Amino acid sequence: MKTILTILTILLSTNAHALTNVCFSPSTCCEDNIVELVNNSKETIDIAIYAFTNQKIYDSLLQAKERGVEIRIVADKAQSKGRFSFIPRLQESGFDVRIKKKVKIEHNKFGVFDQKMIITGSYNWTEAATKMNSENCMLDKRKKVVAKYGKRFEELWKMYDGSETEEITQENTTPRQD
C-alpha cells in the first residue's frame, strides 16, 4: 500500500500541466520532486539552502554536474559546519558554493531550475525533513514567480561575492546541536 501511495504521489506531483504543486512531509514528495527537477535540468541550477544532509539529492546534484549543468549554491555557515552536512562534500567535488561569514543565518530553502521552475518552502534538504519533520514545499513554474526567485538568487550570489566567503572542510565542522 505504501508503494502505491508513493507512486501516486509522484504521478500527481509531476503533472506537466500544473503551474504549481504543493507537498507535505514527512513523505518523499519534496525529495522526489527536487531529485526530478535536478535530473531534468539541462543548463543551470541555483540553490539557496539552510541545511543539506539528503543523500538522494546530493547524488542527483553530482550527476547533474557530470552532465555539465552549471550549479551555484549559497549556504548557511553554521549548518554547513554540521557533522552531517553535505556542503563540504559539494565544495570538495568542485561545486561553486558561497558561504557568507557575516550573515547571521542563511535561512532560505529554494532552488531555481533552468530559470523555468522553482521549489521553495520550509523543507530543509535533509533526511529528517523527508522522514520525520512536518515541512512543506511548493513547486512553481509561473514565469513571474520564477523570475523573482531568480532575481533574489542573483542578489544573494552578489552579496556572497567570494570576498568574504568561507570554505567548509571536514576539519572545521562540528556536530549539529539540534
Q: Per residue in 61-101, pLDDT tens?
A: 999 999 999 999 999 988 988 889 999 999 999 999 999 77
pLDDT bucket at 124, cuts 50 / 70 / 90: very high
**Percent of the chain topping pLDDT 70:** 80
User: What integer pLDDT is reported at residue 177 of this predicted model?
Assistant: 39
Distance from C-alpha of 160 to C-alpha of 124, rounded to nearest angstrom: 21
Is 148 inside any structural domain?
yes
Is 3 inside any structural domain?
no
For cell 543539506, name the residue. 52
Query: Cα(first)–Cα(last) distance of the chain, in Å?
Result: 33
pLDDT bucket at 160, cuts 50 / 70 / 90: confident
User: What integer pLDDT is reported at residue 176 of this predicted model?
Assistant: 41
Please enumerate in sequence order all residues whose Cβ is within 8 A of that of 94, keeping only pairs 6 or more positions apart, or say none: 65
Is 120 inside any structural domain?
yes
Is 37 inside any structural domain?
yes
Contact 167, 91 (CB under 8 A): yes
| Of residues 165 and 83, more confidently modeled | 83
Is 62 inside any structural domain?
yes
Q: How many domains does the chain have?
A: 1
DSSP assigned state of 172: G
What CATH number has the domain bearing residue 100? 3.30.870.10
Is 8 inside any structural domain?
no
- Residues 48-54 have a mean pLDDT of 96
Is 171 inside any structural domain?
no
Is 25 inside any structural domain?
yes
User: What integer pLDDT is reported at residue 105 of this predicted model?
Assistant: 87
Query: Which pTM was predicted?
Result: 0.81
Domain with 115, as residue range(s), is: 21-160
Q: Is the pLDDT of residue 8 over 90?
A: no
Q: Is the pLDDT of residue 167 over 90?
A: no
Contact 178, 85 (CB under 8 A): no
